[in-house]
């Protein structure tokens, strides 16, 4: 459906994209993930023909963006990072104009506009000037614009930024429902969002594609060793003594002790599940494990690892 080959973009000396290749199959939802400035928006702008790449190729449904831009663009609906709205138009006027741009036939125009307004729930605001809409509604009108003409590919650049929690949930549901009929590519730096919505994750860092897989596979793949969280009734000295003496444990970290219960994080020395051994180890010494939890690797960890932000965790 969508094929991106060796995409590179230079801004003078600065290399924004350094050769990105991926493909997204029809009917899937792909998430473009990466820290700010990694090249997500640049990639999307090139895919939609807003920017021309320094080198590389974008093929949408068999149409080359460079060779046959008009036909390729007919297949795309694009919501850029800032919704491209004419503030001096009403919602209906604006969507009508987009219909004209996308060559929707005169007769169908009215129904198409009604349909997309219904889909993003802005029908009751159809007569309002876009200037007077709140950010959330502007975002919806921007999305409505991308849906006009029912394009097979929909590209959304950070579709949930600036929305309130309820709107975010609605937007995600909407995107998921789009996945039935369209191929959707969205970018985000919110990992839970990508995890919740996408079938395919593309992680970009510093202009390069560093990983491409399903969210589950990525977590599995990068889960190197088991990490266990334990709560043990006892003193921290006893716990450390036991763990230091054990060959099962690669490293451990005590983090807090309250009311006779020690919290400890244990990293196993091998790939095997060491929960049973650990249980008997403490049982032999007459120390009770009151909680034992296996920490699974989240997409967040994978992301931090791949984009080299392990040390400087930013809360985004």
Partner 1 sequence: MGAIYMKEMRSAFHSLAAYLYLALYTAASGIYFSIICLSYGYTDYSRYVFGNITILYIVIVPILTMRLFAEERKQRTEQLLYSAPIRMRDIVLGKYLSVLTLLALSILVSLAEAAVLSSFGPVNWKTVFTGCLGYFLLGACLLAVGEFLSSLTDNQMVAAAMSFGFVLLCMLLPNIVDFVPSRPRYTFLVCALAALCLGFFVYDRTRDKKTGAAFGLAGLCLALIPGLINKELYQDGLARILTWISVTDRFEDFVSGILNGSSIVYYISFAVLFLFLTVQHLERRR
Longest Cα–Cα distance of the chain, Å, equals: 82
- Our finding on whether 74 is near partner 1 (CB under 8 A) is yes
Site string for partner 1, 129-168 (x = CB under 8 A): ----------------x-----------------------
Site string for partner 1, 9-48 (x = CB under 8 A): ------------------------------------x--x
Nearer residue to partner 1 within complex by CB, 46 or 304? 46
Among 87, 164, 216, 316, binds partner 1 (CB under 8 A): 87
Residue 121 Cβ, how far from partner 1 at the closest point, in Å? 21
Contact yes or no for 148/182 (Cβ under 8 A): no
Stretch that binds partner 1, among 19-27, 95-103, 225-233, 269-277 (CB under 8 A): 95-103
Among 21, 23, 26, 52, binds partner 1 (CB under 8 A): 52
Distance (Å) of CA 194 to CA 64, 175, 205: 28, 11, 16
CA dihedral 229, 231, 232, 238 (to 10 degrees): 60
Nearer residue to partner 1 within complex by CB, 87 or 216? 87
State how far the Cα of 229 lies from the Cα of 227, in Å rounded to an integer: 7
Residue 14 Cβ, how far from partner 1 at the closest point, in Å? 16
Among residues 205, 267, 305, 38, the alpha carbon closest in space to that of 313 is found at 305
- Our finding on whether 93 is near partner 1 (CB under 8 A) is yes
Helices (H), the chain: 40-47, 69-74, 91-101, 106-119, 135-147, 165-181, 191-197, 215-222, 236-245, 275-284, 299-306
State how far the Cα of 304 lies from the Cα of 46, in Å rounded to an integer: 26
Helix, strand, coil fractions of the chain, as percent rounded to 5:
35, 30, 30
- Our finding on whether 109 is near partner 1 (CB under 8 A) is no
Nearer residue to partner 1 within complex by CB, 32 or 243? 32
Among 14, 103, 107, 313, binds partner 1 (CB under 8 A): 103
State how far the Cα of 183 lies from the Cα of 203, in Å rounded to an integer: 18
State how far the Cα of 263 lies from the Cα of 260, in Å rounded to an integer: 10
For residue 195, the tally of other CB atoms under 10 A from its CB is 18
- Our finding on whether 86 is near partner 1 (CB under 8 A) is yes
Among 19, 80, 136, 152, binds partner 1 (CB under 8 A): 80
Among 5, 15, 28, 71, binds partner 1 (CB under 8 A): 71
Which positions touch partner 1 (CB under 8 A)?
A: 45, 48-52, 69-71, 73-74, 76, 78, 80, 82, 84-89, 93, 97-98, 100-103, 145
């Amino acid at each position: 459906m969508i094929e991106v080959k060796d995409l590179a973009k230079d801004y003078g000396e600065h290399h924004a994209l350094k050769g990105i290749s991926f493909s997204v199959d029809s009917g899937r939802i792909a998430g473009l993930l990466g820290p700010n400035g990694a090249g997500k928006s640049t990639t999307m702008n090139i895919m939609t023909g807003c920017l021309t790449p320094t080198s590389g190729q974008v093929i949408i449904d068999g149409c080359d963006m460079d060779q046959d831009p008009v036909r390729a663009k007919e297949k795309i609906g694009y919501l850029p990072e800032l919704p491209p709205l004419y503030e001096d138009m009403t919602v209906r006027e604006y969507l009508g104009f987009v219909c004209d741009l996308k060559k929707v036939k005169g007769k169908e125009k009215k129904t198409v506009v009604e349909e997309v307004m219904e889909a993003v729930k802005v029908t009751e605001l159809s007569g309002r000037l876009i200037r007077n809409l709140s950010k959330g509604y502007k975002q919806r009108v921007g999305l409505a614009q991308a849906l006009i003409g029912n394009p097979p590919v929909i590209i959304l650049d950070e579709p949930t930024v600036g929305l309130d929690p309820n709107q975010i949930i609605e937007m995600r549901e909407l995107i998921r429902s789009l996945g039935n009929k369209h191929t959707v590519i969205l970018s985000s730096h919110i990992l839970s969002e990508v995890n919740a919505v996408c079938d395919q994750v593309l992680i970009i860092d510093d202009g390069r594609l560093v990983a491409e897989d399903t969210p589950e596979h990525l977590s599995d793949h990068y889960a190197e060793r088991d990490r266990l969280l334990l709560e043990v009734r006892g003193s921290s000295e006893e716990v450390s003594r036991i763990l230091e003496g054990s060959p099962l444990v690669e490293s451990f970290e005590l983090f807090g002790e309250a009311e006779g219960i020690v919290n400890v994080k244990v990293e196993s020395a091998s790939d095997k599940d060491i929960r049973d051994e650990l249980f008997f180890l403490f049982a032999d010494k007459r120390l009770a494990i009151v909680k034992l939890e296996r920490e699974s690797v989240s997409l967040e960890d994978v992301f931090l690892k791949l984009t080299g932000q392990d040390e400087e965790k930013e809360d985004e």
